[in-house]
Chains A and B, each alone.
Chain A
Amino acid sequence: MGIGIKGKKLKIGDVLVYIFIVLLTGLSFMGLKIMAGQGDEVLVQIELNGRALESIKMRQNWAEDFREIRVDTGQGGYNTIRISSEGVDIVDANCPDKLCVHSPTIKVPGQSIVCIPHKLMVRIIGNSQVDNAVDDTAS
């Protein structure tokens, strides 16, 4: 027995081809959605002079990702970054102004801490939006 159109029978191979096409279309749409959405994934990204050094995928509970990272920024410079349940902080650095160490803790996507003398940037990347979200801040 086969599936018929206007009484004529289709071969099993034809049916398989159509099923394959339908599946492929479905799968690629799903792939697109996954790529565009990325869900609630949050990344902590460390960049030196505009280049990404490390991207850390955070889990729901930040406490599980507790770590301290000492970044060598060249010419003897360093910044120590701490990731904890509080968020991300620069806890130590040997830059002249220490502005990065005094910067508030960050936890929300879009926030960042910058060490200008060491050309270091730590930022949180993600899609989750907060109320009253701004595109940028004039400071």
Chain B
Amino acid sequence: MTKKIKKVFFIITMGIMLISLMTACISQPTRQYDKNIFALDTIVTLRVFGDRSAKKAMDRVADRIKEIERHMSPSLEGSDVIKINQAAGVEPAQVHEDTFYVIKKALEYGRLTEGVFDITIQPIVELWGINTEHAKIPSEEEIEEKIALVDYRKVRMNEEKRTIFLEEKGMGIDLGAIAKGYAADEAVRILKEAGVEHALLNLGGNVITIGRRPDGNSWRIGLQDPRTEETGQDHFGIIDVADATVVSSGDYERYIKDVYKKTGERYHHIFDPRSGFPAQKGLIACSIITSSSIDADALSTILFIMGHEQGFELIDQLGSAEAIVVTSNKEIYTTEGLRDSIISSNDYYRIVD
């Protein structure tokens, strides 16, 4: 009898141990994988949830972003952008499919906004040199000379040969306002194709979410307070999203620090292609919330340059995005669809209905 009991006891114990071992090995648990890479002149943070295949997909995303950077960088030797700019006024340059697609999309936004969004802004960007050691306020003459070279209608595309030609010598393109958006869309495509259901990506401040958080809640995204040194707050608002991208633009990140210290004026990096000066339409920050990152990237720049009223008109007309702006009077305006979903987290700003 004792032997029988012992045997039963032994079998049960071993059984429990075996089962727990097996479940630990077989069911690949949902894990969180993180990766930070420096690319596209910014920092990219990837957070992906899933099993090992999710991690592999995350590594492919990192490679893909670096590939896009090699094609669209304004500074990496041999990039399509450098090739196009060097051949300006001389001959068409053949480019990768990625670059061709992004330029095509950028020119569509150029036409839609009649030049508010203009990738041929490069000569102006270079002249001001914001965030470089030679940043300065240029003279009127210098700006006049360079603004004459800014015109998106002088970019010629040849679909068959996949070439881009800038009609005049001295012209140049800068894809800084749209390349990150394209990279984000590619990242989402790769992750979704690999079956990833939950991910949080940040490409230099552009936030992209796939699905919801693994716990089923929406992702909670803070909107960067543009005057954090005055308010002591991190965010001017908070928004809960799922399967969406949140892209912000503003005057607070890149501006000429020396001039700001002396005069309090912010000469920032978002230029109005019509004036050659930093956009001055009463906004200090704005955000776009939508599903396509390339659209969000372009639209946030457009909204910042157009200002609140004209910008909201365009976004309403498009009907596919929501927006929020912070004015220099410390007022917050949102599009209709966002009115109830923005969480105020900061008394410094007033939400206007």
Contacts and interface: CB of A to CB of B under 8 A. Distances in A.
Nearest to B35: A50
B13 interface: yes
Contacts of A135: 200, 213, 219-221
A21 interface: yes
B122 interface: no
Contact of A10 (B2, B247, B257): B2
Given A137-B207, A138-B287, A49 B221 contact: no
Contacts of B43: 114, 116, 121
A136 B38 contact: no
B13 A21 contact: yes
A137 B224 contact: yes
A129 B35 CA distance: 22
A98 B38 CA distance: 17
Interface string A1-45: 000011011100010001001000000000000000000000000
B246 interface: yes
B124 interface: no
Interface residues of A, number: 29
Contact of A134 (B13, B131, B238): B238
A47 to B, nearest CB: 7
Interface stretch (B162-170, B227-235, B305-313): B227-235
Interface in A68-101: 96-99
Interface of B: 1-2, 5-6, 9, 13, 35-38, 41-43, 131-133, 200, 202, 205-207, 213, 219-224, 228-229, 234-235, 238, 246-248, 250, 253, 257, 287, 345
Interface of A: 5-6, 8-10, 14, 18, 21, 47, 49-50, 96-99, 102, 104, 114, 116, 119, 121, 132-139
Given A8-B2, A96-B131, A137-B222, 8 more contacts: A5-B2, A10-B6, A14-B6, A50-B38, A104-B229, A116-B38, A119-B38, A136-B219
